[in-house]
């Protein structure tokens, strides 16, 4: 039976967990970077649709595995599946305007770079 409140909590927990997964080149978490496109909850099954900054990027295998591991660690009873999607392709405009430098990272963007909001989870 669907439970929208429980599903929303699972999504929120998943997003929070994914904030601990960093793109090691950019030093930004995958949520702020806008790589997480969708999180679908169906009972104990969680399907995460994510993308990468470019197809064939060096962490194209590492990052999805870390996403899966972070979500599984936060929700041990869930079956987590991570799917890589390329449509729509990622662009820097998908990055959120959140502060990325909580760990003291230098500002990495050029002045004047547009930042946007990840497609679905801006309000989460």
Partner 1 sequence: MSARPPMMGNVPPASVPIAFFGAAAVGLVGFGMAAWLAADKIVASPIYPGTLSAVHVAMLAFLTVGVLGALHQFAPVIGQRPLRSVAVARVSCVGIVVTAWLLPTGFAHGPEDLVPLGGVIGATTVVLIGWNLSGPLGRGATGLPVWGLRCSVTFLIATVTFGVVYAFNRQTAWFPLLPHRVLAHAHLGLLGWLGLTYVSVAEKLWPMFLLSHRPSDRSGHVGVWSLAAGVTVLTPGLLFGQPAVAWPGGVLVGVGVIAHITSLATYIRHRRRPLEVLHAFVLASAGFLLTAGVLAALAGALDVTTVARTRLVSAEVMALTAWLGLAIVGHVHKIVPFIGYQVLRADGVATGPGGRPLLFSDLTSKRPAVASLVCGTTGGAAMVIGILTTSSATVATGAVLLSVTGVITTLNLVAGPRRVRRHARRAVAPLPTNSTTTTTVGAST
Token representation of residue 14: 């998943």
Nearer of residues 42 and 93 to partner 1, judged by Cβ: 93
Binding of residue 108 to partner 1 (CB under 8 A): yes
Cβ 124 to partner 1 shortest distance, Å? 21
Other CB atoms closer than 10 Å to residue 16's CB: what's the count? 13
Which of the ranges 8-16, 35-43, 75-83, 109-117 carries the binding residues for partner 1, by CB under 8 A? 109-117
Q: What residues contact 108, with CB distance under 8 A and at least 6 apart?
A: 26, 27, 28, 100
Q: How far apart are the C-alpha atoms of 16 and 47, rounded to whole Å? A: 15
Report if residue 97 touches partner 1, rule: CB under 8 A.
no
SS3 category, 82: strand
Q: CB-wise, 9 or 85, nearer to partner 1?
A: 85
78 binds partner 1 (CB under 8 A): no
Please identify which residue in 45, 62, 81, 83 interacts with partner 1, judged by CB under 8 A.
62
> Is 63 in contact with 21 (CB distance < 8 Å)?
yes
DSSP structure class, residue 89:
P
Residues that bind partner 1 (CB under 8 A): 20, 22, 24-27, 53-62, 65-66, 69, 73, 89, 91-92, 103-105, 108-110, 113
């Amino acid at each position: 039976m669907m439970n929208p409140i429980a599903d929303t909590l699972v999504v929120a927990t998943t997003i929070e967990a994914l904030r601990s997964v960093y793109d090691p080149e950019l030093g930004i978490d995958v949520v702020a970077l806008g790589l997480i496109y969708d999180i679908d909850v169906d009972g104990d099954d969680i399907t995460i649709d994510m993308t990468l900054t470019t197809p064939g990027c060096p962490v194209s295998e590492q990052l999805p595995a870390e996403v899966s591991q972070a979500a599984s660690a936060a929700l041990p009873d869930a079956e987590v599946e991570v799917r890589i999607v390329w449509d729509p392709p990622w662009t820097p405009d998908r990055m959120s305007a959140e502060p990325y430098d909580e760990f003291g990272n230098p500002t990495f963007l050029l002045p004047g770079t547009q930042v946007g909001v990840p497609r679905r989870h801006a309000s989460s």
